[in-house]
Structure 1
Amino acid sequence: MLIDLHTHSAQSDGTQSPAEVMRSAADAGLDVVALTDHDTMRGWGQAARAVRDTGVTFVPGIEISCAYDGISVHLLGYFVDPLDAALLAELERARASRRTRAQRMVERLAPDTGLTWAQVQEQFGADTTIGRPHIADALIAAGVVASREEAFASYLATGSKYHVSHYAPDPAHATRLVRAAGGVPVMAHPFAASRGRTVGLDVIDRMADAGLAGLEVHHRDHSDEEIGRGLRLADRLGLLVTGSSDYHGTGKPNQLGENTTAQRVFEQLVEQATSGTGPIRP
Protein backbone atom coordinates (compact mmCIF):
# COMPACT_ATOMS: atom_id res chain seq x y z
CA MET A 1 0.00 0.00 0.00
CA LEU A 2 1.11 3.58 -0.72
CA ILE A 3 0.31 5.75 2.30
CA ASP A 4 0.94 9.52 2.50
CA LEU A 5 0.06 11.03 5.88
CA HIS A 6 0.76 14.75 5.44
CA THR A 7 -1.01 16.96 2.89
CA HIS A 8 -2.60 20.40 2.78
CA SER A 9 -5.60 21.84 0.98
CA ALA A 10 -6.86 25.38 0.41
CA GLN A 11 -8.41 25.18 3.88
CA SER A 12 -4.91 26.21 5.00
CA ASP A 13 -1.94 26.89 2.72
CA GLY A 14 -2.45 24.37 -0.06
CA THR A 15 -3.74 25.35 -3.49
CA GLN A 16 -6.34 22.62 -4.07
CA SER A 17 -9.70 21.94 -2.48
CA PRO A 18 -9.88 18.86 -0.22
CA ALA A 19 -11.69 16.97 -2.97
CA GLU A 20 -8.99 17.92 -5.46
CA VAL A 21 -6.32 16.66 -3.07
CA MET A 22 -8.15 13.33 -2.97
CA ARG A 23 -8.34 13.19 -6.77
CA SER A 24 -4.65 14.04 -7.04
CA ALA A 25 -3.90 11.27 -4.54
CA ALA A 26 -5.75 8.82 -6.75
CA ASP A 27 -3.87 10.06 -9.82
CA ALA A 28 -0.60 9.55 -7.92
CA GLY A 29 -1.51 5.93 -7.19
CA LEU A 30 -1.94 6.39 -3.45
CA ASP A 31 -4.07 3.98 -1.44
CA VAL A 32 -4.29 6.14 1.69
CA VAL A 33 -3.92 9.90 2.19
CA ALA A 34 -4.26 12.13 5.25
CA LEU A 35 -5.48 15.71 5.04
CA THR A 36 -3.58 17.67 7.71
CA ASP A 37 -4.41 21.33 7.26
CA HIS A 38 -2.93 23.84 9.66
CA ASP A 39 -5.04 24.30 12.80
CA THR A 40 -8.33 23.28 11.16
CA MET A 41 -10.44 20.21 10.45
CA ARG A 42 -12.82 22.05 8.11
CA GLY A 43 -11.74 20.12 5.03
CA TRP A 44 -12.60 16.71 6.44
CA GLY A 45 -16.17 16.55 5.17
CA GLN A 46 -15.32 17.34 1.58
CA ALA A 47 -12.39 14.91 1.58
CA ALA A 48 -14.52 12.15 3.10
CA ARG A 49 -17.20 12.64 0.43
CA ALA A 50 -14.54 12.16 -2.26
CA VAL A 51 -13.54 8.71 -1.01
CA ARG A 52 -16.14 6.77 -3.04
CA ASP A 53 -15.28 8.51 -6.30
CA THR A 54 -11.49 8.34 -5.86
CA GLY A 55 -11.12 4.92 -4.23
CA VAL A 56 -8.55 6.42 -1.83
CA THR A 57 -8.85 5.87 1.92
CA PHE A 58 -9.08 9.21 3.75
CA VAL A 59 -7.30 9.78 7.07
CA PRO A 60 -8.72 12.69 9.09
CA GLY A 61 -5.80 14.73 10.39
CA ILE A 62 -4.57 18.14 11.44
CA GLU A 63 -1.25 19.95 11.74
CA ILE A 64 -1.02 22.03 14.90
CA SER A 65 1.37 24.97 14.77
CA CYS A 66 3.34 24.91 18.02
CA ALA A 67 6.34 26.83 19.31
CA TYR A 68 9.02 26.43 21.93
CA ASP A 69 11.39 29.26 22.85
CA GLY A 70 10.59 31.00 19.59
CA ILE A 71 11.21 27.87 17.49
CA SER A 72 8.41 26.56 15.30
CA VAL A 73 7.28 22.98 15.94
CA HIS A 74 4.60 21.24 13.88
CA LEU A 75 2.52 18.45 15.38
CA LEU A 76 0.42 16.13 13.24
CA GLY A 77 -2.68 14.78 14.93
CA TYR A 78 -4.60 11.87 13.40
CA PHE A 79 -8.13 10.68 14.23
CA VAL A 80 -8.93 13.35 16.83
CA ASP A 81 -12.50 13.92 17.97
CA PRO A 82 -13.55 16.91 15.83
CA LEU A 83 -15.88 18.09 18.61
CA ASP A 84 -13.35 18.01 21.45
CA ALA A 85 -13.88 21.34 23.24
CA ALA A 86 -10.37 21.82 24.60
CA LEU A 87 -8.70 21.13 21.27
CA LEU A 88 -11.14 23.31 19.35
CA ALA A 89 -10.57 26.21 21.74
CA GLU A 90 -6.80 25.98 21.29
CA LEU A 91 -7.12 25.80 17.52
CA GLU A 92 -9.43 28.80 17.39
CA ARG A 93 -7.02 30.81 19.52
CA ALA A 94 -4.19 29.97 17.11
CA ARG A 95 -6.32 30.73 14.03
CA ALA A 96 -7.37 34.13 15.40
CA SER A 97 -3.76 34.96 16.22
CA ARG A 98 -2.67 33.95 12.72
CA ARG A 99 -5.17 36.37 11.17
CA THR A 100 -4.09 39.26 13.39
CA ARG A 101 -0.46 38.46 12.67
CA ALA A 102 -1.06 38.45 8.93
CA GLN A 103 -2.78 41.83 9.10
CA ARG A 104 0.13 43.31 11.06
CA MET A 105 2.64 41.93 8.57
CA VAL A 106 0.72 43.49 5.71
CA GLU A 107 0.78 46.82 7.55
CA ARG A 108 4.58 46.55 7.75
CA LEU A 109 4.88 45.49 4.12
CA ALA A 110 2.60 48.20 2.73
CA PRO A 111 5.06 51.13 2.69
CA ASP A 112 7.70 49.13 0.77
CA THR A 113 5.50 46.97 -1.48
CA GLY A 114 2.14 48.71 -1.74
CA LEU A 115 0.45 45.52 -0.55
CA THR A 116 -3.02 45.88 0.96
CA TRP A 117 -5.05 43.55 3.19
CA ALA A 118 -7.73 43.46 0.49
CA GLN A 119 -5.18 41.95 -1.92
CA VAL A 120 -4.30 39.26 0.61
CA GLN A 121 -7.98 38.48 1.24
CA GLU A 122 -8.32 37.60 -2.44
CA GLN A 123 -6.00 34.64 -1.81
CA PHE A 124 -8.11 32.69 0.70
CA GLY A 125 -11.67 31.65 1.49
CA ALA A 126 -13.85 32.50 4.45
CA ASP A 127 -12.90 29.43 6.52
CA THR A 128 -9.22 29.29 5.61
CA THR A 129 -6.47 29.14 8.23
CA ILE A 130 -4.45 32.19 7.21
CA GLY A 131 -0.67 31.98 6.95
CA ARG A 132 2.34 33.61 5.34
CA PRO A 133 1.82 31.64 2.09
CA HIS A 134 -1.32 33.71 1.46
CA ILE A 135 0.71 36.91 1.82
CA ALA A 136 3.27 35.37 -0.53
CA ASP A 137 0.55 34.64 -3.09
CA ALA A 138 -0.66 38.25 -2.84
CA LEU A 139 2.90 39.48 -3.40
CA ILE A 140 3.10 37.24 -6.48
CA ALA A 141 -0.22 38.53 -7.81
CA ALA A 142 1.01 42.11 -7.29
CA GLY A 143 4.21 41.38 -9.19
CA VAL A 144 6.45 42.01 -6.21
CA VAL A 145 7.97 38.50 -6.24
CA ALA A 146 7.88 35.62 -8.69
CA SER A 147 7.29 32.71 -6.31
CA ARG A 148 6.52 31.68 -2.74
CA GLU A 149 10.14 30.64 -2.39
CA GLU A 150 11.32 34.15 -3.27
CA ALA A 151 8.81 35.70 -0.87
CA PHE A 152 9.93 33.48 2.02
CA ALA A 153 13.59 34.15 1.28
CA SER A 154 13.05 37.90 1.51
CA TYR A 155 9.95 39.70 2.74
CA LEU A 156 8.49 36.80 4.74
CA ALA A 157 11.68 35.42 6.27
CA THR A 158 11.52 34.97 10.04
CA GLY A 159 14.36 37.44 10.52
CA SER A 160 12.96 40.14 8.22
CA LYS A 161 11.74 43.49 9.50
CA TYR A 162 8.23 42.59 8.35
CA HIS A 163 7.95 39.43 10.43
CA VAL A 164 5.39 39.18 13.25
CA SER A 165 5.02 36.14 15.50
CA HIS A 166 1.69 34.55 16.39
CA TYR A 167 0.35 32.51 19.29
CA ALA A 168 1.30 28.84 19.19
CA PRO A 169 0.91 26.27 21.98
CA ASP A 170 3.78 24.49 23.66
CA PRO A 171 4.38 21.22 21.74
CA ALA A 172 4.09 18.99 24.82
CA HIS A 173 0.78 20.67 25.71
CA ALA A 174 -0.48 20.17 22.15
CA THR A 175 0.57 16.52 22.31
CA ARG A 176 -1.51 16.04 25.44
CA LEU A 177 -4.47 17.81 23.80
CA VAL A 178 -4.35 15.44 20.81
CA ARG A 179 -4.24 12.39 23.11
CA ALA A 180 -7.07 13.78 25.26
CA ALA A 181 -9.11 14.20 22.06
CA GLY A 182 -8.57 10.50 21.33
CA GLY A 183 -6.08 11.22 18.57
CA VAL A 184 -2.59 10.05 17.69
CA PRO A 185 0.20 12.69 17.69
CA VAL A 186 3.23 12.54 15.38
CA MET A 187 5.91 15.22 15.24
CA ALA A 188 6.32 16.60 11.72
CA HIS A 189 9.80 16.96 10.14
CA PRO A 190 11.56 17.29 13.54
CA PHE A 191 15.08 17.90 12.24
CA ALA A 192 14.42 20.02 9.14
CA ALA A 193 17.23 22.51 9.68
CA SER A 194 16.69 23.89 6.18
CA ARG A 195 13.47 25.45 7.50
CA GLY A 196 15.22 27.24 10.36
CA ARG A 197 16.07 26.44 13.96
CA THR A 198 14.89 23.12 15.34
CA VAL A 199 14.19 22.18 18.95
CA GLY A 200 16.57 20.12 21.07
CA LEU A 201 16.12 16.52 22.10
CA ASP A 202 14.89 17.65 25.52
CA VAL A 203 11.75 19.08 23.91
CA ILE A 204 11.10 15.88 21.96
CA ASP A 205 11.65 13.89 25.15
CA ARG A 206 8.94 16.01 26.83
CA MET A 207 6.63 15.40 23.90
CA ALA A 208 7.28 11.66 24.18
CA ASP A 209 6.44 11.79 27.88
CA ALA A 210 3.21 13.62 26.96
CA GLY A 211 2.13 10.81 24.61
CA LEU A 212 3.89 11.36 21.29
CA ALA A 213 3.33 8.33 19.03
CA GLY A 214 5.80 8.91 16.24
CA LEU A 215 8.28 10.99 14.27
CA GLU A 216 7.89 11.98 10.63
CA VAL A 217 11.42 10.97 9.68
CA HIS A 218 11.13 10.49 5.92
CA HIS A 219 10.52 13.99 4.59
CA ARG A 220 12.10 15.95 1.75
CA ASP A 221 13.40 18.60 4.17
CA HIS A 222 15.51 16.02 6.01
CA SER A 223 19.04 15.27 4.86
CA ASP A 224 20.38 11.72 4.99
CA GLU A 225 22.11 12.64 8.24
CA GLU A 226 18.88 14.00 9.71
CA ILE A 227 16.99 10.88 8.65
CA GLY A 228 19.57 8.76 10.45
CA ARG A 229 19.24 10.94 13.51
CA GLY A 230 15.46 10.57 13.44
CA LEU A 231 15.63 6.80 13.11
CA ARG A 232 17.98 6.55 16.08
CA LEU A 233 15.81 8.82 18.21
CA ALA A 234 12.62 6.93 17.32
CA ASP A 235 14.32 3.70 18.33
CA ARG A 236 15.50 5.18 21.63
CA LEU A 237 12.07 6.55 22.51
CA GLY A 238 10.04 3.66 21.14
CA LEU A 239 8.27 5.86 18.59
CA LEU A 240 6.79 4.95 15.22
CA VAL A 241 8.51 6.21 12.06
CA THR A 242 6.41 7.80 9.34
CA GLY A 243 7.11 9.31 5.94
CA SER A 244 5.04 11.87 4.06
CA SER A 245 5.07 14.32 1.20
CA ASP A 246 3.84 17.49 2.98
CA TYR A 247 1.99 18.20 -0.27
CA HIS A 248 0.67 21.73 -0.91
CA GLY A 249 -0.53 21.48 -4.51
CA THR A 250 1.34 24.03 -6.62
CA GLY A 251 2.32 25.94 -3.47
CA LYS A 252 5.43 23.81 -2.98
CA PRO A 253 7.45 21.42 -5.16
CA ASN A 254 6.53 18.47 -2.91
CA GLN A 255 4.85 15.64 -4.80
CA LEU A 256 2.26 13.23 -3.42
CA GLY A 257 3.79 9.91 -2.45
CA GLU A 258 7.42 11.09 -2.63
CA ASN A 259 7.75 9.77 0.92
CA THR A 260 5.36 7.22 2.38
CA THR A 261 4.52 5.37 5.59
CA ALA A 262 4.73 1.60 5.96
CA GLN A 263 1.40 -0.21 6.16
CA ARG A 264 2.26 -1.83 9.50
CA VAL A 265 3.03 1.61 10.98
CA PHE A 266 -0.24 2.99 9.66
CA GLU A 267 -2.14 0.11 11.21
CA GLN A 268 -0.45 0.84 14.57
CA LEU A 269 -1.50 4.49 14.33
CA VAL A 270 -5.09 3.42 13.69
CA GLU A 271 -4.98 1.05 16.67
CA GLN A 272 -3.85 3.84 19.01
CA ALA A 273 -6.84 6.09 18.27
CA THR A 274 -9.51 6.16 20.99
CA SER A 275 -11.83 8.88 19.66
CA GLY A 276 -14.08 6.76 17.46
CA THR A 277 -12.73 8.66 14.46
CA GLY A 278 -11.01 6.39 11.99
CA PRO A 279 -10.03 6.04 8.34
CA ILE A 280 -12.81 6.55 5.79
CA ARG A 281 -12.44 3.65 3.38
CA PRO A 282 -13.92 3.20 -0.11
Structure 2
Amino acid sequence: MKVDLHMHSHCSDGVLSPTELMERAFAQGVQLLALTDHDTLAGVEEARERAQSLGMQLVSGIEFSTRWGSMGIHIVGLGLALERPALHATVAAQRRARAERNEEIGRRLEKIGVVDAYERARELAGEVEPGRPHFAELLVRDGKVVDSARAFKKYLGSGKLGDVRQQWPPMADIVAAIRAADGVAVLAHPAKYALTRTKLRALMSDFAAAGGQAVEIISGQQASGIAENLASLAREFELEASVGSDFHRPGHPWQELGCPGALPASVTPVWHRWAPG
Protein backbone atom coordinates (compact mmCIF):
# COMPACT_ATOMS: atom_id res chain seq x y z
CA MET A 1 0.00 0.00 0.00
CA LYS A 2 1.31 3.43 -0.96
CA VAL A 3 0.85 5.85 1.94
CA ASP A 4 1.39 9.61 2.27
CA LEU A 5 0.33 11.20 5.56
CA HIS A 6 1.76 14.72 5.18
CA MET A 7 0.84 17.15 2.37
CA HIS A 8 -0.41 20.70 1.86
CA SER A 9 -3.06 22.40 -0.26
CA HIS A 10 -3.76 26.05 -0.99
CA CYS A 11 -5.68 26.15 2.29
CA SER A 12 -2.27 26.79 3.87
CA ASP A 13 1.02 27.11 1.99
CA GLY A 14 0.53 24.70 -0.89
CA VAL A 15 -0.58 25.72 -4.37
CA LEU A 16 -3.10 23.03 -5.38
CA SER A 17 -6.70 22.92 -4.24
CA PRO A 18 -7.66 19.94 -2.04
CA THR A 19 -9.42 18.43 -5.06
CA GLU A 20 -6.39 18.88 -7.32
CA LEU A 21 -4.14 17.49 -4.61
CA MET A 22 -6.22 14.31 -4.33
CA GLU A 23 -6.18 13.89 -8.11
CA ARG A 24 -2.41 14.24 -8.22
CA ALA A 25 -2.01 11.77 -5.35
CA PHE A 26 -4.22 9.29 -7.20
CA ALA A 27 -2.07 9.68 -10.32
CA GLN A 28 0.99 8.91 -8.16
CA GLY A 29 -0.61 5.69 -6.93
CA VAL A 30 -1.30 6.80 -3.35
CA GLN A 31 -3.98 4.73 -1.61
CA LEU A 32 -4.03 6.02 1.98
CA LEU A 33 -3.36 9.69 2.66
CA ALA A 34 -3.91 12.71 4.88
CA LEU A 35 -4.23 16.40 4.06
CA THR A 36 -2.25 18.18 6.78
CA ASP A 37 -2.50 21.91 6.16
CA HIS A 38 -0.86 24.26 8.63
CA ASP A 39 -3.16 25.05 11.57
CA THR A 40 -6.36 24.62 9.56
CA LEU A 41 -8.91 21.93 8.75
CA ALA A 42 -10.48 24.03 5.99
CA GLY A 43 -9.73 21.65 3.12
CA VAL A 44 -10.36 18.28 4.77
CA GLU A 45 -13.97 17.72 3.72
CA GLU A 46 -13.34 18.75 0.10
CA ALA A 47 -10.34 16.43 0.03
CA ARG A 48 -12.32 13.58 1.58
CA GLU A 49 -15.09 13.86 -1.01
CA ARG A 50 -12.66 13.70 -3.94
CA ALA A 51 -10.51 10.98 -2.35
CA GLN A 52 -13.54 8.77 -1.84
CA SER A 53 -14.68 9.29 -5.42
CA LEU A 54 -11.25 8.10 -6.57
CA GLY A 55 -11.24 5.07 -4.27
CA MET A 56 -8.58 6.43 -1.90
CA GLN A 57 -8.87 6.50 1.87
CA LEU A 58 -8.38 9.91 3.50
CA VAL A 59 -7.43 10.22 7.15
CA SER A 60 -8.37 13.59 8.68
CA GLY A 61 -5.25 15.62 9.42
CA ILE A 62 -3.63 18.92 10.34
CA GLU A 63 -0.09 20.20 10.99
CA PHE A 64 0.08 22.28 14.15
CA SER A 65 2.77 24.85 14.87
CA THR A 66 4.18 24.47 18.39
CA ARG A 67 7.27 25.25 20.38
CA TRP A 68 9.70 23.07 22.28
CA GLY A 69 11.49 25.43 24.59
CA SER A 70 12.38 28.34 22.31
CA MET A 71 12.36 26.22 19.15
CA GLY A 72 9.53 25.93 16.63
CA ILE A 73 8.35 22.34 16.15
CA HIS A 74 5.56 20.95 13.96
CA ILE A 75 3.17 18.26 15.16
CA VAL A 76 0.87 16.45 12.74
CA GLY A 77 -2.51 15.31 14.05
CA LEU A 78 -4.05 12.31 12.26
CA GLY A 79 -7.40 10.56 12.55
CA LEU A 80 -9.03 13.47 14.37
CA ALA A 81 -12.68 13.49 15.43
CA LEU A 82 -13.59 16.68 13.58
CA GLU A 83 -16.82 17.27 15.50
CA ARG A 84 -15.02 18.01 18.78
CA PRO A 85 -15.58 21.69 19.82
CA ALA A 86 -12.27 21.76 21.72
CA LEU A 87 -10.39 20.86 18.53
CA HIS A 88 -11.99 23.76 16.68
CA ALA A 89 -11.18 26.09 19.57
CA THR A 90 -7.51 25.09 19.28
CA VAL A 91 -7.56 25.65 15.52
CA ALA A 92 -9.22 29.06 16.00
CA ALA A 93 -6.52 30.08 18.48
CA GLN A 94 -3.83 29.05 15.99
CA ARG A 95 -5.53 31.06 13.27
CA ARG A 96 -5.57 34.17 15.47
CA ALA A 97 -1.88 33.71 16.17
CA ARG A 98 -1.17 33.36 12.46
CA ALA A 99 -3.19 36.51 11.72
CA GLU A 100 -1.15 38.48 14.24
CA ARG A 101 2.07 37.25 12.66
CA ASN A 102 0.83 38.02 9.15
CA GLU A 103 -0.18 41.53 10.13
CA GLU A 104 3.38 42.12 11.33
CA ILE A 105 4.84 40.64 8.13
CA GLY A 106 2.58 43.01 6.20
CA ARG A 107 3.78 46.01 8.20
CA ARG A 108 7.39 45.09 7.58
CA LEU A 109 6.91 44.60 3.84
CA GLU A 110 5.18 47.96 3.56
CA LYS A 111 8.48 49.51 4.66
CA ILE A 112 10.02 48.33 1.38
CA GLY A 113 7.11 49.59 -0.70
CA VAL A 114 4.68 46.65 -0.79
CA VAL A 115 1.49 48.65 -0.26
CA ASP A 116 -1.38 47.10 1.76
CA ALA A 117 0.60 43.87 1.99
CA TYR A 118 -1.55 42.04 4.55
CA GLU A 119 -4.88 42.99 2.93
CA ARG A 120 -3.64 41.94 -0.50
CA ALA A 121 -2.24 38.67 0.86
CA ARG A 122 -5.67 37.94 2.35
CA GLU A 123 -7.26 38.52 -1.05
CA LEU A 124 -4.86 36.03 -2.60
CA ALA A 125 -5.56 33.46 0.12
CA GLY A 126 -9.33 33.63 -0.22
CA GLU A 127 -11.20 32.14 2.74
CA VAL A 128 -8.14 31.00 4.67
CA GLU A 129 -5.46 32.92 6.54
CA PRO A 130 -2.57 33.70 4.19
CA GLY A 131 0.82 32.08 4.44
CA ARG A 132 4.28 33.25 3.47
CA PRO A 133 3.81 32.01 -0.14
CA HIS A 134 1.08 34.63 -0.56
CA PHE A 135 3.45 37.36 0.58
CA ALA A 136 6.07 35.92 -1.79
CA GLU A 137 3.59 36.27 -4.66
CA LEU A 138 3.06 39.92 -3.74
CA LEU A 139 6.79 40.53 -3.81
CA VAL A 140 6.93 39.04 -7.30
CA ARG A 141 3.90 41.03 -8.49
CA ASP A 142 5.38 44.26 -7.16
CA GLY A 143 8.67 43.64 -8.92
CA LYS A 144 10.74 43.27 -5.75
CA VAL A 145 11.99 39.83 -6.82
CA VAL A 146 11.85 37.68 -9.95
CA ASP A 147 10.30 34.59 -8.38
CA SER A 148 9.02 33.05 -5.16
CA ALA A 149 12.32 31.36 -4.33
CA ARG A 150 14.08 34.73 -4.44
CA ALA A 151 11.33 36.23 -2.24
CA PHE A 152 12.11 33.74 0.49
CA LYS A 153 15.86 34.10 0.08
CA LYS A 154 15.80 37.88 0.23
CA TYR A 155 12.80 38.80 2.39
CA LEU A 156 10.89 35.92 3.99
CA GLY A 157 13.45 33.32 5.00
CA SER A 158 15.11 32.85 8.36
CA GLY A 159 16.64 36.05 9.68
CA LYS A 160 15.21 38.22 6.89
CA LEU A 161 12.88 41.22 7.08
CA GLY A 162 9.69 39.15 6.90
CA ASP A 163 10.82 36.46 9.32
CA VAL A 164 8.43 37.10 12.22
CA ARG A 165 8.87 34.76 15.16
CA GLN A 166 5.57 33.53 16.59
CA GLN A 167 5.11 32.34 20.16
CA TRP A 168 3.21 29.15 19.41
CA PRO A 169 1.71 26.93 22.15
CA PRO A 170 3.98 24.46 23.94
CA MET A 171 4.35 21.12 22.19
CA ALA A 172 2.76 19.27 25.11
CA ASP A 173 -0.40 21.40 24.88
CA ILE A 174 -0.89 20.59 21.21
CA VAL A 175 -0.24 16.89 21.77
CA ALA A 176 -2.91 16.95 24.47
CA ALA A 177 -5.36 18.72 22.12
CA ILE A 178 -4.79 16.09 19.42
CA ARG A 179 -5.24 13.23 21.88
CA ALA A 180 -8.43 14.86 23.25
CA ALA A 181 -9.84 14.75 19.71
CA ASP A 182 -9.08 11.01 19.51
CA GLY A 183 -6.23 11.78 17.12
CA VAL A 184 -2.69 10.49 16.80
CA ALA A 185 0.09 13.01 17.48
CA VAL A 186 3.02 12.65 15.07
CA LEU A 187 6.34 14.48 15.35
CA ALA A 188 6.80 15.96 11.88
CA HIS A 189 10.05 15.74 9.87
CA PRO A 190 12.44 15.59 12.88
CA ALA A 191 15.52 15.37 10.68
CA LYS A 192 14.78 18.83 9.27
CA TYR A 193 15.33 20.59 12.60
CA ALA A 194 19.13 20.25 12.24
CA LEU A 195 19.53 18.97 15.81
CA THR A 196 22.45 17.04 17.19
CA ARG A 197 21.60 13.45 18.04
CA THR A 198 21.61 14.36 21.73
CA LYS A 199 19.08 17.15 21.22
CA LEU A 200 17.00 15.07 18.82
CA ARG A 201 16.85 12.32 21.42
CA ALA A 202 15.77 14.88 24.05
CA LEU A 203 13.04 16.18 21.72
CA MET A 204 11.68 12.70 21.08
CA SER A 205 11.86 11.87 24.77
CA ASP A 206 9.83 14.95 25.68
CA PHE A 207 7.40 14.29 22.84
CA ALA A 208 6.79 10.73 24.00
CA ALA A 209 6.46 11.84 27.64
CA ALA A 210 3.81 14.38 26.55
CA GLY A 211 1.74 11.61 24.97
CA GLY A 212 3.07 11.71 21.41
CA GLN A 213 2.44 8.49 19.55
CA ALA A 214 4.39 8.49 16.29
CA VAL A 215 7.25 10.10 14.40
CA GLU A 216 7.80 10.72 10.68
CA ILE A 217 10.54 8.31 9.77
CA ILE A 218 10.41 9.34 6.12
CA SER A 219 9.75 12.92 4.98
CA GLY A 220 10.18 13.23 1.23
CA GLN A 221 13.53 12.26 -0.21
CA GLN A 222 16.16 11.83 2.51
CA ALA A 223 19.84 11.10 2.75
CA SER A 224 20.86 7.52 3.35
CA GLY A 225 20.75 6.48 7.00
CA ILE A 226 18.21 9.04 8.25
CA ALA A 227 15.29 6.60 8.32
CA GLU A 228 17.33 3.99 10.18
CA ASN A 229 18.52 6.56 12.73
CA LEU A 230 14.98 7.80 13.37
CA ALA A 231 13.69 4.24 13.53
CA SER A 232 16.14 3.40 16.32
CA LEU A 233 14.90 6.40 18.32
CA ALA A 234 11.29 5.48 17.61
CA ARG A 235 11.89 2.03 19.02
CA GLU A 236 13.63 3.47 22.07
CA PHE A 237 10.66 5.69 22.90
CA GLU A 238 7.99 3.22 21.74
CA LEU A 239 6.73 5.47 18.97
CA GLU A 240 5.03 4.29 15.81
CA ALA A 241 6.30 5.34 12.38
CA SER A 242 4.72 7.64 9.82
CA VAL A 243 5.69 8.69 6.29
CA GLY A 244 4.86 11.81 4.32
CA SER A 245 6.02 13.71 1.27
CA ASP A 246 5.42 17.17 2.80
CA PHE A 247 4.23 18.07 -0.69
CA HIS A 248 3.58 21.76 -1.37
CA ARG A 249 3.74 22.26 -5.12
CA PRO A 250 4.51 20.50 -8.40
CA GLY A 251 8.04 20.81 -9.68
CA HIS A 252 9.71 19.80 -6.42
CA PRO A 253 10.50 16.11 -7.04
CA TRP A 254 12.10 15.70 -3.61
CA GLN A 255 8.64 16.32 -2.12
CA GLU A 256 6.48 14.59 -4.70
CA LEU A 257 3.31 12.89 -3.48
CA GLY A 258 3.87 9.26 -2.57
CA CYS A 259 6.91 8.73 -0.38
CA PRO A 260 10.10 7.20 -1.69
CA GLY A 261 11.66 4.27 0.10
CA ALA A 262 10.27 1.83 2.63
CA LEU A 263 10.07 1.93 6.39
CA PRO A 264 12.65 -0.09 8.31
CA ALA A 265 11.06 -3.40 9.26
CA SER A 266 11.75 -2.80 12.95
CA VAL A 267 9.06 -0.12 13.41
CA THR A 268 5.26 -0.24 13.52
CA PRO A 269 3.52 1.79 10.79
CA VAL A 270 1.06 4.27 12.27
CA TRP A 271 -1.41 3.51 9.49
CA HIS A 272 -2.22 0.08 10.94
CA ARG A 273 -4.91 2.09 12.77
CA TRP A 274 -6.76 2.94 9.54
CA ALA A 275 -5.65 0.55 6.83
CA PRO A 276 -8.40 -1.88 5.79
CA GLY A 277 -7.97 -5.49 6.78
TM-score bucket (shorter structure): 0.7 to 0.9
1:10-68 per-position Cα deviation (integer Å, ceiling 9, x unaligned): 11111111111111111111112211111111212111211343222111111111112
Structure 2 partner of 1:276: none
Q: Which residue of 2 aligns with 1:138?
A: 138
CA contact (8 A) 2:114 2:138 kept: no
- Alignment correspondent of 1:110: 110
The 1:116–1:261 alpha-carbon spacing in structure 2 relative to 1, beyond 3 Å, is farther
Deviates more, 1:254-263 or 1:22-31: 254-263
Structure 2: distance between partners of 1:130 and 1:100? 11
Partner of 1:182: 182
Q: What residue is the counterpart of 1:161 in the other structure?
A: 161
Deviates more, 1:139-148 or 1:238-247: 139-148
Helix, strand or coil at the partner of 1:154: helix
Equivalent runs, 1:1-282 vs 2, <5 Å = 1-117=1-117, 118-126=119-127, 128-193=128-193, 200-220=200-220, 222-250=222-250, 254-259=255-260, 265-270=269-274
Cα drift, residue 163 of structure 1: 2.3
Distance 2:262 2:60 in 1: 16
Report if the CA contact (8 A) 2:75-2:175 is conserved.
yes
CA distance in 2, matches of 1:161, 1:249: 24
Rate the CA distance shift 1:261–1:222 in 2: closer, same or farther, 3 A.
closer
Segment drifting more, 262-271 vs 40-49: 262-271
- Residues 190 and 200 in structure 2, CA contact (< 8 A), matched pair in contact too: no
What CA deviation, in whole Å up to 9, does each residue of 1:200-235 have, x standing for no partner?
432321210222111102113753354333122111
What are structure 2's unaligned runs of at least 5 residues? none
Q: Where in structure 1 are there 5+ consecutive unaligned residues? A: 272-278
Residue pair 2:63, 2:74 contacting (<8 A) in 1 also: yes
SS of match in other structure, 1:41: coil
Q: Is the 8 A contact 1:5 1:261 kept in 2?
A: no
Post-superposition shift, 1:236? 0.7
Q: Do the aligned partners of residues 156 and 191 (structure 1) sit closer, same or farther apart at CA in structure 2, a change above 3 Å counting? A: same
Pair 212,260 (structure 1): closer, same or farther in 2 beyond 3 Å: farther
Aligned residues: 269
Q: Secondary structure at the match of 1:191?
A: helix
Cα distance between partner residues in 1 of 2:194 and 2:147: 18
1:266 positional shift: 4.4
Deviates more, 1:220-229 or 1:88-97: 220-229
In structure 1, distance between residues paired with 2:204 and 2:194:
19
Amino acid at match of 2:274: V
Per-residue CA deviations over 1:47-101 (Å, capped at 9, x if unaligned) read: 1211343222111111111112332111111111213233322221111111121
**Partners of 1:251 and 1:85 in 2: CA distance:** 38
Greater relative contact order (CA < 8 Å, ≥ 6 in sequence): 1
8 Å CA contact 1:216–1:244 kept in 2: the answer is yes
Contact 2:121 2:130 in 1 (8 A): no
TM-score (ref. length: structure 1): 0.85
* Code of the aligned partner of 2:158: T
Q: Rate the CA distance shift 1:241–1:156 in 2: closer, same or farther, 3 A.
A: same
Work out the CA distance in 2 between the residues paired with 1:108 and 1:48.
38
| SS of match in other structure, 1:66 | strand
Q: Deviations over 1:97-153 (max 9, x none)?
A: 111211211211222243432332232011x14322221222223232233332222
Question: Which amino acid in the other structure matches residue 269 of structure 2?
Answer: V
